[in-house]
Amino acid sequence: MTIPTPIHILNVPVHPVTYEDFLIIVGDYITQGHPRQICTANPEFVMTAQRMPEFLAVLQKADLVLPDGVGLLWAAKRLGRPLPERVTGSDGIYVLAERGAREGWRFFLLGARPGVAEKTASILCARYPGLQVVGTYPGSPDEKDYPEIARRIKSVHPDILLVAYGAPKQDLWIAAHKDDLHVPVSIGVGGAFDHVAGVRKRAPKLLIRLNLEWLWRLITQPWRWKRQLDLPRFVWQVIRYEHQHR
155-209 pLDDT, tens digit each: 999 999 999 999 999 999 999 999 999 999 999 999 999 999 988 665 566 555 6
Round to the nearest angstrom and report the end-to-end CA distance of the chain: 33
Query: 10 Å Cβ neighbour count for 37?
Result: 24
CB 111 within 8 A of CB 188: no
Cis amide bond preceding 6, omega within 30: no
Q: Which of 240, 238, 212 is nearest to 69 (CA)?
A: 212
Which residue type sits at 145? D
CB 171 within 8 A of CB 63: no
pLDDT over 90 (residue 36): yes
Instruction: Give residue 227's pLDDT.
Output: 59
- pTM to 2 decimal places: 0.88
pLDDT tens digits, one per residue of 110-129? 999 999 999 999 999 999 99
Q: What domains appear along the chain, each with residue ranges and CATH number?
A: 34-197 (3.40.50)
Instruction: Give residue 169's pLDDT.
Output: 97
Lowest mean pLDDT among 78-87, 101-110, 231-240: 231-240
